[in-house]
Structure 1
Amino acid sequence: MNDMTQTAPASGLKRHLPLLTILVVAVIGFFTLRDYLSFDTLQDNRETLLTFRDSHYAVLVLMFLALYIVIVAFSLPGAAVASVTGGFLFGLWAGTVYNVIAATIGACAIFFAARAGLGQALAARLDASEGTVKKLTRGLHENEISVLFILRLVPAVPFFVANLLPALVGVKFRNFLLTTALGIIPGALVFTSIGVGLGEVFDRGERPDLSLLWAPHIIGPILGLAALAALPIVTKALRGRSEG
């Protein structure tokens, strides 16, 4: 009996270990890497990177993907810098593809880490809940794709939250993967396009303006897509009221 009681806590701790590792690395990285994963570092090494790209393109792509995945998976500072760097090194279309691939893989890593531990237990409690919580949980699962698209498309939602929250409420992984890969494309295009002209910005002694994402002609269409994603939820709600 004692062996069983000792094994259970150890097993529970093991399930939480991936998420705990991510949180610890994220905190350490926040205080230690902010000055390294920056545009200053990119500017100081721009010629070296461009020369290496021209002679070892495939190797640089793999290195870029690996670094970006680590940044996203461990929620390290520098995700925006990485996205802009993708455009600077590889151009708009290739850079966007690489950015989306890396960000999606990193997001999936957080999803699995969270679902393996805390998410598994919390999702089970939500499924067994009653009353208002049960209604909200049922509504979420009936509209998973719409809700997940909204999380991805609304810029005010931090990327880490959009990765972690779905795992904690038990959404299907295939829906998470689909909405992540497609939902981050608009933002990726914006940041990658900033990177395309980064060389000229550096030559002027300036820093890239990441506030471009909030310009009306950019944020307007993105919010329009978010509204379109919310349309099925609104339609179901209105239909339910009319039938009631």
Structure 2
Amino acid sequence: MQTETSQHVFHAKSPAADRAPDSNAMKGRSRWLKWIRLASMLVILVSLMLLIRALPLDQLSVVLKSSIGDLGMWGPVVLAAIYIIATVLFVPGTILTLAAGAIFGLAIGTATVSVGSTVGASLAFLIARYGARKKVASMAQHNRHFGAIDQAIEEGGWKIVALLRLSPAIPFNLQNYLYGLTPVGFWPYVVASWIAMLPGTFLYVYIGHVTGAAIAGDRERSPVEWAMLIVGLLATVAVTVYVTRLARRKLNEQVDGENEIASESEEPNGEDAPAVKTSAERQPIKTLVMAASAVLLFTFSLFANQNSDRIQDSIVSMFGPPQVEMNERYGEKPAGPKVDHSALDQLLKSHVDAEGWVDYGSLAGSEDQLQGYLDQIAEVSFDELGRDEKLTLLINGYNAATLKLIVENLPIDSIMDIPESQRWDAKRWEIGGKRMSLNQLEHEEIRPNFAEPRIHFALVCAAVGCPPLRNEAYAAEKLNSQLEEQAQYVHDHSTWFQFDPGRSELSLTKLYSWYGDDFVQKSGSVEQFAANYSSELARFLNSGETPVTTWLPYDWSLNSKSNKQAR
């Protein structure tokens, strides 16, 4: 009796006794999981910052603006179409969303992504429901969580769809197809998806807008503008996180309830019933996935930073100026004709100061004289000129055409504000009897035919980050000394050249990155070419040391007197 009683008492008390330690253990585990998730988020943020530092995002921004942003009213249409295709093909759209913010700004960027993502999600839904139902069903049939969501949608309809969009338990692109198998109607699905995706869309577009403004360098923002952008970003993040947490809590209640109902209905006797995990039980798995993702992203960001030069060179070779083999194809002709550049010389002396800042307002009043000079050099017989006369004509022609381009598009903040079709690729400039674009002039007429990398310090792109425009025209009889002065000026100013021998750090203008192969062909490396204009760097290299070379920011703001600043 005594044994039976003690056994009875033990069994009666054991559930209560066991619950307290289990509850404490669960709370302790929950705290640990929370700290692990927080640490993972911090690691992910640090990793993203490292990636931004390692990748040439300014170059990519210029490429995106040139390829999509310059399409005018068709730009958003093209990006939305790309977004639709990416959504249907399971391609993540995060980069496209960030790009939309960087290229089009908040309003148009958000509208573009919203239309693209909603139309793409709608097409995926229709494909699943009417075109590829068996394939999608096979993907979902072993997913117990989807079964619970399916039942929840049958009860809650579009409300569950909206909650899932706000706090996705299933990846976005997969959701689009799986919803086609559920009872939800097409139009309720479309409207719920569109509205619920807007907070996340706006957040990523905002991030793209802020980072795009920071890296593109097309103009300087005031401290007040930056403060408003940052405060707006933080507010957007806070609201999005708050809404997401509310949605996740409500969704977990719905889905966990459906899981329990499904489990009870399938195994009424409770024997051998498959375990269906609740949201709390799934937290360790989610935390593990998040931590693993953070470690992988951090590892990749470290690799990217260690190989940033190689990555940047690869991207520049893909999207930057074309590489050419430089040759000296022309000889001198002392008895050949001379080209008169006095008209351009007078314009430059009148409207450009000694540091290369341009008074575009006053130059606009002399636009007829500028056009007159361009008309004059269009009639020159190029083939009859000697080597220096040819190169002088091409350099002056390029700079005069750039000035004309800016003047006829005023008011603008940057040359990048001019559509690509009207900017460097517009085949409208006639020089020496040839009609060509500015890109053709530089990459087809100058670089392959003159072994002269110093032209990169003479050709002007009308930007603050560009070497200064001389307030005189180039002249064949002193061309070499003018090019040498330009190169020396660049290496004497921190905007384009910085060297710290104590830290073995060399920072160069991105002209050295974009046209690196030209300098390598001339001197063996960009560092050796730069050393021609820095005795300190030359001594450092001669001692057998190798600096760590990085690229300085390139400011695309207009090189106007109103933007005048210390070099």
What's the TM-score once normalised by structure 1's chain length? 0.60
1:69 offset after TM fit, Å?
0.9
Whether 1:103 aligns to 2:125 is no
What's the counterpart of residue 85 of structure 1?
Answer: 99
What's the counterpart of residue 246 of structure 2?
Answer: 224
What's the counterpart of residue 65 of structure 1?
Answer: 80
Structure 1 residues 20-68: Cα deviation after superposition (integer angstroms, max 9, x where no partner): xxxxxxxxxxxxxxxxxx9858643422443566653212112111111
Q: What is the 5 A alignment of 1:146-225?
A: 146-202=159-215, 218-224=240-246
Aligned-partner Cα distance in 2 for 1:159–1:113: 15
Residue identity opposite 1:221 in structure 2: V
Are 1:115 and 1:170, in contact at CA under 8 Å, matched by a contact in 2? no
Are 1:187 and 1:213, in contact at CA under 8 Å, matched by a contact in 2? no
Q: Closer, same or farther in 2 for the Cα pair 1:56/1:214, shift >3 Å? A: closer
Residue identity opposite 1:143 in structure 2: G
Aligned-partner Cα distance in 2 for 1:176–1:224: 20
Aligned-partner Cα distance in 1 for 2:185–2:76: 30
Whether 1:56 aligns to 2:71 is yes
What's the counterpart of residue 74 of structure 1?
Answer: 89
Aligned-partner Cα distance in 2 for 1:159–1:182: 14
Deviates more, 1:220-229 or 1:155-164: 220-229
What RMSD over aligned residues (CA atoms) do the two structures have, in Å? 3.9
Extract unaligned runs of 5+ from structure 2: 1-50, 138-146, 218-233, 259-567
Aligned-partner Cα distance in 2 for 1:190–1:137: 29
Residue identity opposite 2:110 in structure 1: T
Q: Closer, same or farther in 2 for the Cα pair 1:59/1:44, shift >3 Å? A: same
For residue 73 of structure 2, give the secondary structure of its aligned residue in structure 1: helix
Structure 1 residues 109-129: Cα deviation after superposition (integer angstroms, max 9, x where no partner): 111111114548999xxxxxx
What is the number of equivalent residue pairs in this alignment? Answer: 181
1:218 offset after TM fit, Å?
3.5
Are 1:84 and 1:195, in contact at CA under 8 Å, matched by a contact in 2? yes
Residue identity opposite 1:152 in structure 2: R
Aligned-partner Cα distance in 1 for 2:131–2:238: 41
What's the counterpart of residue 142 of structure 1?
Answer: 155
| Higher helix proportion (structure 1 or 2) | 1
Aligned-partner Cα distance in 2 for 1:66–1:41: 26
Aligned-partner Cα distance in 1 for 2:78–2:59: 18
1:102 offset after TM fit, Å?
0.2
Identical columns (%): 22
Are 2:97 and 2:113, in contact at CA under 8 Å, matched by a contact in 1? yes
Structure 1 residues 136-164: Cα deviation after superposition (integer angstroms, max 9, x where no partner): 86653231111101110004531023212
Are 2:84 and 2:119, in contact at CA under 8 Å, matched by a contact in 1? yes
Q: Closer, same or farther in 2 for the Cα pair 1:213/1:174, shift >3 Å? A: farther
Aligned-partner Cα distance in 2 for 1:74–1:122: 13
Are 2:99 and 2:208, in contact at CA under 8 Å, matched by a contact in 1? yes
- Which one has the largest radius of gyration? 2
Aligned-partner Cα distance in 2 for 1:121–1:84: 32
For residue 170 of structure 1, give the secondary structure of its aligned residue in structure 2: coil
Are 1:149 and 1:226, in contact at CA under 8 Å, matched by a contact in 2? no
What's the counterpart of residue 9 of structure 1?
Answer: none
Aligned-partner Cα distance in 2 for 1:146–1:170: 13
1:96 offset after TM fit, Å?
0.7
Q: Closer, same or farther in 2 for the Cα pair 1:42/1:171, shift >3 Å? A: farther
Are 2:69 and 2:75, in contact at CA under 8 Å, matched by a contact in 1? no
Are 2:152 and 2:160, in contact at CA under 8 Å, matched by a contact in 1? no
